[in-house]
Amino acid sequence: MASTLSRTLRIASIAGVRAGIRVASARTPIIRPGFAQKSAVRAFSVSRATFDEQPRLRLGSPAPNFKAETTHGPIDFHEFIGKSWTILFSHPADFTPVCTTELGAFAQLEEEFAKRNTKLIGLSANGLDSHEKWIEDIEEVATNGNKVGFPIIADPERKVAFLYDMVDHQDLTNIDTKGIAFTIRAVFIIDPNKKVRLTMLYPASTGRNTAEVLRVLDSLQTGDKAGVTTPINWVPGEDVIVPPSVSNEAAAAKFGEFRAVKPYLRYTKYPTELLKK
């Protein structure tokens, strides 16, 4: 597994919100499956002005809380996160080809995420009955024998999708002709403080790279614990960068040896000892 993961990470390294319900509201939105498509259309018949005025999620923003039905039962999202890192990732629809391969890929790496104190939770714009049947297909053709061990949010009304800016702009503004708001492929890495630390947005035609998600998680956790940054295509074990805010004296005291390519670009060895603390 280790060699396969390392190779996958190497490949990934090369490849390398607007909220519909205001976060400041005292109410926590409740998402329930089973509403008719017609209700979903009404919910997203918003004006262009309303669309443009909606706040966006930024890196460092609090992750909006919500309550929802999932394949593992009802959740309060912040309670689900607890003291873990969490990766929330969305899919346009059940029983679609690209989404099926993606869910399978996340299932195959679920143990690796768990080793990093990280929970996975998916979202697809369908109800629970559809999700349960779709999981059978995913496990049959896309997980390499693994089970889908993480919950999948049922979001037929696109409420969570809208809250996390997962609704495609064109599809939202074309709601009357297309019939239903379309959910893009989004990835959010959320830390134990409920802060959004990374966002990735993909078009519906392009599958994501789960190993890249894992690589970025490693970078964030390494940076938080060791006070370093990571260069392009970095993977765990490789040299890291000493931040410009750290003086040479402080760098020597903290990291020992380091090499300066430029006064603002200094490398040091992978901080194994710092990460053990």
Q: Quick one: pLDDT at residue 134? A: 92
- Alpha-carbon distance of 211 to 19, in angstroms, equals 28
Query: Based on the number of CB atoms within 10 Å of its own CB, is 68 exposed (0-12), middle (13-18) or buried (19 or more)?
Result: buried
Type of residue numbered 201:
L
Closest CA to 162 of 16, 14, 45, 271: 45
Q: Quick one: pLDDT at residue 163? A: 87
Is 99 tagged catalytic?
yes
- Alpha-carbon distance of 7 to 219, in angstroms, equals 17
- Alpha-carbon distance of 125 to 33, in angstroms, equals 9
Residues listed for the chain = 277
Type of residue numbered 152:
I
Helix%, strand%, coil% for the chain, nearest 5: 40, 20, 40
Between these two residues, 145 and 277, which has the higher pLDDT value?
145
Could you tell me where the DSSP H helices lie in 74-229? 77-81, 97-108, 110-115, 128-141, 159-163, 169-173, 175-178, 210-226
Q: Please name each of the domains of the chain with its CATH number.
A: 1-16+209-277 (3.30.1020.10), 17-208 (3.40.30.10)
pLDDT in tens, 125-181: 889 999 999 999 999 999 999 999 999 999 988 888 888 888 766 544 444 344 555
Is pTM, for the whole model, over 0.85? no
With a cut of 90, say whether residue 50 has pLDDT above it.
no
Say which of 88, 99, 109, 228 is annotated catalytic.
99
> What is the share, in percent, of the chain residues with pLDDT greater than 90?
58
With a cut of 60, say whether residue 11 has pLDDT above it.
no
- Alpha-carbon distance of 79 to 99, in angstroms, equals 27
Query: In this predicted structure, which of 47-51, 80-84, 222-226 has the lowest mean pLDDT?
Result: 47-51
